[in-house]
Structure 1
Amino acid sequence: MSTRAGIVVTGTEVLSGWIADRNGPWVSQRLLELGVDVAHLTVCGDRPDDLRAQLDFLSTQGVDLIVTTGGLGPTADDLTVATVAEFTSRPLARDPEMAHTIESVIRSWRRYSTVDELPSSTIAAIEKQALIPQGAEAIPPTGTAPGVAVPAGEARPAVLVLPGPPRELQSMWPTALTTDTVTTALRDRVPATLETLRAYGLSEPDLAASLVDAETTVAGFHALEVTTCMRGGELEISTQFAANDASAYDALASFLLERHSDRIYSTDGRAVDDLLIERLADRTIVTAESCTGGLVAARLTDRPGSSAYMLGGVVSYSNDVKTGAIGVPADMIAEHGAVSEEVAVAMADGVAARLHADVAVSTTGIAGPGGAVPGKPVGTVCIGVAVAGRDTFAVTRQFPGDRQQVRELTVAAALHLVVDTLGFD
């Protein structure tokens, strides 16, 4: 039986929606990679009673490990360690070595000398963060806040307390995994494999119908844990399974490929960005964007080393910029409209010529909520692709949703169109 874990993300700023939770999904993914079954992921505010309620709940759910994130700073609302100490019935005690470590970090950051008297507020902050539940393992800080690993007790799971800033948490994670507390909690886990298929243009209802058929067709289907997620027009099909159920997964993957070979574009988890880079080979690419406002260029430059293939782009939002910056004829815009395949082709050709690139992609559309004209409702988008040595072409798509969704769907469509085009080499 797999080890089970629960995650509690603390922070009123996350609960209120002021910032997005980056820690919960990251920790969940790391645990899944270790073969740990993540049973619950919860968010609560910076209130001891609410955190205690989450800890109490998870302790009744048969989890072997609880991971908390946040609430480890020097301020009054950073009460995670104290709450966990109470939950585990372990009194807090000053850790002299940890106090010295935190002081050294603060001195190095603020350029205090070793003999400078620290402000009383700083000393108080150090003392607060150096309080560790008795018998727990202190994890050296990657900021100023140490982590804490509290061993399991009778009828109570182990608790791993990590900092809130994502950089600090992620830096601390490898060390946290080596603590006796965590290794003991994870020692009985059953190694699991996570495989991902990616599809474009496949709807969730169509996939659901195929999975219903697979239940009675694929031997061992019920040993597989299949989850699906639709994002930006792409459908991610993730399957987790034990090593001895690999044949069942292979059968399921073959079944889905037979049903949807024209939609499934990746069988090894690679994203469309990976395929685009691979198919570009030694060629360069540029963008000309209107409705997407630079989002395609941002996607192309997300990865380190993107300067090897991405030369640049032009956000030609206004007609004047389309004409002046990338040479789209003004009379073409007047005749066909800015949202037209003719203009999309001219944008792609123009930016490729101006920036001396081998490949260019353009977008022009009506993202809404206004801007619709007869025959071109909100969501109408034209995408152009130019490849050196070939005829430039454009396609028209109609996307649903609000402004943000139309733009996201346009970016995905543009990348897939380039990948498909280059796939004909």
Structure 2
Amino acid sequence: MGVRPIRAGIVVTGTEVLTGRVTDRNGPWLAERLRELGVDVGRTVVVGDRREDLATALRFQLADHDLVITSGGLGPTADDLTAEVVAQVQGRAMALDRDLADRIEEIVAGYAARRSWTTPPEILRQGSEKQAMVPDGAVVLTPIGTAPGLVVPAADGGAAVVVLPGPPSELQPMWAEAIASAPVRAVLDRASELRQAEIRIWGPPEAELAAALRVHEDAHGPLDEAGLEVTTCVRDGELEIVSRFAPEAAGAYGDLHASLSATFGEQIYADDGRSLDDVVAEVLLERGETVATAESCTAGLVAARLADRPGSSAYLLGGFVTYANEAKTAEVGVSTGLLEAHGAVSREVAEAMARGARERLGTTYGISTTGVAGPGGGTADKPVGLVHIAVAVTDGSVAHRELFVAGDRAAVRRRTVVAALHLLRATMAR
């Protein structure tokens, strides 16, 4: 592929992240921002709040990356070690920045006044001074909360470390200042464009995608030799193919896109980076159409997914959570006779729920879900994982799909939401 791309390593700190109590949002966000700048992320490492583990992770990342970025560990408590350890690894002494300490103390005083803290000022001052300890030669990034960021060059001229706070609400606004700093700019000026393209497919199994990729390589040669880094992922029944490549490999990506299009056709629902939510919302907005939901096993998750996008009130008029049979009858008009004859988890009830939601709110479409999410409640005839979804339309037609979803309760509910939105998308495409 020619010249080695500029590479960055990410170190996410925090025992709460390492143990799963908090989900890492910073690593993926930073990786995408770096990719946009032409920087390839080699590794993301998560470490707890332990001095030696953090130092080892930093040395590991610095050994073969042009830039290292950390998140977290910049607070006033004893387990906030990042700035101190980065200084140690980079061969720099730490010193108190008196002006920065005064600025942080002023920010903390504002918090104290607004939140009615009774903490003695001396304790708050000690915390501010800890956060204002800065490695010699570091660039200080303006604090968004109380923690300043840092860009710490190596004393021997090696790779710099960008030290950012853990809360995403502080890290993300600080990013622009970080990449504008001279040490980081020197790295970015050597980066070249790194493109990324995504193809999303609904319907076929992963084995079918694997076969299609083998056929493509038989015809065009290995993907990596063509300059393509291709990764595939199965997420809630969707196949996602992400390709990363330099501009000179654009032709090779065009060949791959053509191969997949020839194989999967209309099963490809997006090839331009849009998500399922984007595709559904854009069609609804373009046509001025509306949706109502009636949910049993998903208990509002379909409506919540539709509402995630700003401006969703233009197409999502409302929804009903109808867990009990009585609610299905009272809220969306499912007859007691239908429930007695077929049971709540049935095609007939799913279709009645979809029609009822649409009619109650006067929408273009009604979407329904009813199923056995588990872990209990299944029978021989209606096992855990059985789900019925339906989409009703103003012309009186109703699309239905029966699902058998493996996994725990959360997986069944999550996959049902995705399948319901795909059924809506397919119905709109008729």
Name the TM-score, length of structure 2 as normaliser. Answer: 0.94
1:233 aligns with 2:233: no
1:192 aligns with 2:189: no
Return the letter of the residue paired with 1:7.
I
Aligned-residue CA RMSD in angstroms?
Answer: 1.6
SS of corresponding position for 2:178: helix
Asked whether the equivalents of residues 104 and 128 of structure 2 are also in contact (C-alpha less than 8 Å), the reply is yes
Asked whether the equivalents of residues 11 and 70 of structure 1 are also in contact (C-alpha less than 8 Å), the reply is yes
* Per-residue CA distance 1:247-299 (angstroms, 9 max, x = gap): 11111111111111142111111111111112222111110001111110110
Runs of 5+ in structure 1 lacking a partner?
none
1:10 aligns with 2:16: no
Write out the 4+ residue segments of structure 1 that deviate beyond 6 Å after TM superposition.
Answer: none
* Per-residue CA distance 1:284-331 (angstroms, 9 max, x = gap): 111000111111011001111111111111110111110111110011
Task: Give the corresponding residue for 2:395.
Answer: 389
C-alpha distance in 2 between matches for 1:237 and 1:322:
40
What pairs up with 1:158-169 in 2 under 5 angstroms?
158-169=160-171
Change beyond 3 A, Cα 1:405–1:122: same
Asked whether the equivalents of residues 220 and 248 of structure 1 are also in contact (C-alpha less than 8 Å), the reply is no
Task: Give the corresponding residue for 1:339.
Answer: 345
C-alpha distance in 2 between matches for 1:53 and 1:168:
26
1:185 Cα deviation after fit: 2.1
What pairs up with 1:3-402 in 2 under 5 angstroms?
3-60=6-63, 62-111=64-113, 119-154=121-156, 156-218=158-220, 221-222=223-224, 223-280=227-284, 281-402=287-408
SS of corresponding position for 1:148: strand
Asked whether the equivalents of residues 294 and 315 of structure 1 are also in contact (C-alpha less than 8 Å), the reply is yes
C-alpha distance in 2 between matches for 1:221 and 1:153:
40
Asked whether the equivalents of residues 223 and 230 of structure 2 are also in contact (C-alpha less than 8 Å), the reply is no
1:9 Cα deviation after fit: 0.5
* Per-residue CA distance 1:351-402 (angstroms, 9 max, x = gap): 1122222211000011122222333222111111111123223221222222
1:83 Cα deviation after fit: 0.4
Asked whether the equivalents of residues 91 and 154 of structure 2 are also in contact (C-alpha less than 8 Å), the reply is no
Asked whether the equivalents of residues 372 and 378 of structure 1 are also in contact (C-alpha less than 8 Å), the reply is yes
1:11 Cα deviation after fit: 0.4
Asked whether the equivalents of residues 98 and 140 of structure 1 are also in contact (C-alpha less than 8 Å), the reply is no
Report how many aligned residue pairs link the two structures: 419
1:220 Cα deviation after fit: 7.6
C-alpha distance in 2 between matches for 1:198 and 1:160:
34
SS of corresponding position for 1:75: coil
1:33 Cα deviation after fit: 1.8
- Return 366-375 or 339-348, whichever deviates more: 366-375
Task: Give the corresponding residue for 1:409.
Answer: 415
C-alpha distance in 2 between matches for 1:417 and 1:219:
37
C-alpha distance in 1 between matches for 2:361 and 2:142:
50
- Return 387-396 or 182-191, whichever deviates more: 387-396
Return the letter of the residue paired with 1:104.
E
Asked whether the equivalents of residues 219 and 251 of structure 1 are also in contact (C-alpha less than 8 Å), the reply is no
Return the letter of the residue paired with 2:108.
I
Runs of 5+ in structure 2 lacking a partner?
none
Return the letter of the residue paired with 2:381.
G
Name the TM-score, length of structure 1 as normaliser. Answer: 0.95
C-alpha distance in 2 between matches for 1:392 and 1:197:
29
Asked whether the equivalents of residues 286 and 359 of structure 1 are also in contact (C-alpha less than 8 Å), the reply is yes
C-alpha distance in 2 between matches for 1:244 and 1:104:
52
Return the letter of the residue paired with 1:158.
A
Asked whether the equivalents of residues 290 and 363 of structure 1 are also in contact (C-alpha less than 8 Å), the reply is yes
C-alpha distance in 2 between matches for 1:311 and 1:259:
38
SS of corresponding position for 1:261: helix
SS of corresponding position for 1:194: strand
1:89 Cα deviation after fit: 0.9
C-alpha distance in 1 between matches for 2:146 and 2:267:
48
Asked whether the equivalents of residues 342 and 394 of structure 1 are also in contact (C-alpha less than 8 Å), the reply is no
C-alpha distance in 1 between matches for 2:182 and 2:89:
20
